[in-house]
Amino acid sequence: MLDFFKVVEGKIFIIPDYQREYSWEKPQWEMFFKDVSQIKDQQHLMGSILTSRYKKELPLKERAEFPAYSNKLEFVEFIEDDGTALNLYELIDGQQRLTTMLICLAAIKSRLLANQNQKYVSIIAKIDKALHTKIRTEGDVLQVLKVNPIIFCRKDFGSLIGLTNSASKNRSKSLSGTRKSILLMNKAFDFFYENFSSADVAEDFFIKLTTRVKFWFQDLESAEQANIIFECQNNRGTPLTNLDKVKNNLIYRLSLVKDGPDKNSVLDSVNKAWSSIFKMLADRNIYDTNVENEILVDAITLIYKEGITQNESFQYLSKKLDEEGESADPQKMLCVVQDFVTKLSDIAKAHINFACPLYSDGDYVLPLIELKLTYAEIFRPLLLACMLRMQTSQELLEVFETARDAAFWVYGASARRTNYKTSLHDRTARDIYTQGRATSSTIEYLKDFISSGIDRKRIAYDRVPESLVYAYEAKNKNNEERFKFLTSYNYVRIFKEEDYANLPAIKGITEERERKEKLADLYERASNYAPSPKSKSRTKREYLSEAAIRKAMDESLKQKDLQSLNAYSDELEASAKRYFRAKSYGLKN
């Protein structure tokens, strides 16, 4: 086991871009801080650092970052400006805790610099040496980070941990990045800085962190070995997602195949696929592990079988890959892995666009966000299949608009259970994805589903108030304005049921059952909601404002006020009927 300085001594680490970006948040920072703070005289094992030393070839994208690179030796090596040799390592496991440790050290350095006491000079120098170093280039030296996050985050990370000698914690506020990983690094810095209430506290923490904390450091022969072990070593950090487990499972399968160009090509495809997935997630600021798990569920649904849950997905896929790759011919396993990775990459891209749509994605985005007002996830595999297989944007737009209507009328206004015909949706999705069913049939499928799924006797619009208010607001807006409205949509209930119970129009009803029914009816009318954020620049609103509702709540409530409330609710319902195309499905406008 090694202490921190031994871990970084003589090494430069690169976090490969097929790993997820920095994702630790306050619970992990608090645990890290508590673990170190409570150390007394004993040693504390922080966790594992799994690495693979780069042999000869430095990744192409890294060569611009490290121009001193030479492939004349067996391993990639650099020379520090003092003549010390530096080896380059791929950091497979431990990147979250090691990144956190460097941010913590940067916060300690800032706290000590703020104190301006000469007794801390040696500690600051040690921290600087751990954070970055200088390597020789042709006729010059280049300052580089000792731990290098993926390229998208590297510049901001370098600014945060202090390539400049700023004593102020506010330098972390100058970060240019808007990626969530950069924002989390910024917050981590502030968290540690604020917890170091004085230079003495920071010094004590530094001593514990660098002398009592130990790491299990393992340099493995290849990234394949490291990834296999990685699955079992992610202790005290963010739990592995099923997507993480799949990557390691695929790498394990490839490790059983004899080395050669074909194997290297497939292994490269695996790494590129995960790099692409994590980059797409980060680009759209998605750091929800549930999304990663659902990507795998969707892939299994479209490729193999519907009805698989998150908990079942990894084991099911592992079994399917065993069946498909069961052969003495290793080439078959390479083909199986390559085929799955290609399909997974495409499905993941569609899923991420579905989970966090941007207006620039295409015309289908508006009905997709409108769909999210009700039950978007029910149709997700079906819509992903259409996104992957449909040739024209107009065809895709029509599918999303019809799915939006289906969610509103069947699962919303008709209150069908959310598992109503979901297996049929998923089977249809797989038929479309595998091209066993024409994509052009999707709209007819959805229309048939609406016709059979609408319960005309039980339609109740108060079950979908968000959609009602949106339809009312959207009627005089163009698509871009509707999109902006949806993305800032603030839908809140103004009053609770007990507020209405004291109204004269309710309180005066002597028969209890009639009073309860009247109360429930008034409470559920959409006029009980604030449709959108208030605008200071607009004093007049088309819908009934909160002030008008409060006036109607006054003790002097009159019948005409109730009529105003009812008229407003009727207009909302009429707007929804028009917007969600009631007439097309045999309903009256």
211 and 65 in one domain? yes
- Tell me the C-alpha distance between 533 and 486, whole Å: 11
Shared domain check, 140 and 122: yes
Q: For residues 20 and 93, is the Cβ–Cβ distance under 8 A?
A: no
Residue 258 is encoded by which pair of tokens? 């004899």
| Residue 520 DSSP SS3 | helix
Same domain, 140 and 45: yes
Residues 269 and 193 in one domain: no
Decide which of 408, 428, 458 is a domain's last residue: 458
Do 343 and 429 have their domain in common? Answer: no
User: What's residue 80's pLDDT?
Assistant: 76
Same-domain check for residues 523 and 375: no
Q: State which amino acid sits at residue 297.
A: V
Shared domain for 344 and 444, answered yes or no, is no
The CA distance from 546 to 564, in Å, is 13
Reduce the DSSP state of residue 444 to 3 states and report it.
helix
- Per-residue three-class SS string for 197-225: CCHHHHHHHHHHHHHHEEEEEEEECCHHH
**pLDDT score, position 26:** 94
* Residue 232 placed within a domain: no
- Asked if residue 419 and residue 343 are part of one domain, the reply reads no
User: For residue 130, which phi and psi values (nearest 5 degrees)?
Assistant: -80, -30
Residue 339: give the domain boundaries.
239-356
Judge whether 361 lies within some domain. Answer: no
Looking at residue 209, its pLDDT comes to 94
Structure tokens at 224: 């394949």
In a domain, 468, yes or no: yes
Which DSSP string corresponds to 288-353? -HHHHHHHHHHHHHHHT-S---HHHHHHHHHHHHHHHT-SS-HHHHHHHHHHHHHHHHHHHHHHHH
CA pair distance 550, 564, nearest whole angstrom? 13
Total domains present in the chain: 4
User: Which residues lie closer than 8 Å to 303 by C-beta, 6 or more apart?
Assistant: 340, 343, 430, 433, 434
Report whether 51 contacts 226 (CB < 8 A). yes
Q: Give the end of a domain, one of 435, 458, 481.
A: 458
pLDDT of residue 392: 85
Per the CB < 8 A criterion, the answer to whether 504 and 555 are in contact is: yes
Tell me if 523 is assigned to some domain.
yes
Angle at 80 between CA 76 and CA 86, to 5 degrees: 35
Q: Is 230 within a domain? A: no
Amino acid identity, residue 311?
N
Angle at 77 between CA 71 and CA 80, to 5 degrees: 135
Q: Express the helix, strand and coil content of the chain in percent, nearest 5 each.
A: 60, 10, 30
> What is the pTM for the complete model shown?
0.73
CA distances from 203 to 2, 192, 431 (A): 21, 13, 63
SS3 readout for 135-168: EEECCEEEEEECEECCHHHHHHHHHHHCCCCCCC
Please name which of 334, 310, 300 lies closest in space to residue 433, comparing C-alpha atoms: 300
If phi over 0 gives left and psi between -120 and 50 gives alpha, with beta otherwise, what is residue 483? alpha
Task: Give 184's contacts (C-beta < 8 A, 6+ positions apart).
Answer: 22, 23, 24, 25, 287
Copy the structure tokens of residue 73: 């030796």
* Pairwise CA distance, residues 469 & 572, whole Å: 6
Domain presence at residue 233? no
Tokens of 88: 């380059």
One-letter identity of residue 158: G
Give Cα separations from 422 to 340, 411, 434 (angstroms): 24, 11, 18
Question: What pLDDT was estimated at residue 359?
Answer: 87
**What's the rounded Cα separation, in Å, for the pair 145 and 13?**
8
Claim to verify: residue 205 and residue 61 sit in the same structural domain: yes
Closest to 247 (Cα-Cα) out of 17, 543, 457: 17
**Domain C-terminal end among 422, 437, 458:** 458
Q: Does 201 share its domain with 102?
A: yes
- Residues in the chain with pLDDT < 70? 55-61, 63-64, 67-77, 81, 139, 163-178, 221-238, 327-328, 490-496, 499-500, 503-504, 525-566
Exposed e or buried b for every residue in 207-243, given b needs 16+ CB within 10 A?
Answer: ebbbebbbbebbebebbbbbbbebbebbeebbebbbb
Examine residue 227 and state whether it is found in any structural domain, yes or no: no
Residues 146 and 172 in one domain: yes
Asked whether residue 234 is domain-assigned, the answer is no
Token pair of 500 as six digits = 């209405």
Residue 530 phi/psi, 5° resolution?
-90, 110
Residues 522 and 557 in one domain: yes
Are 337 and 253 in contact by the 8 Å Cβ rule? The answer is yes
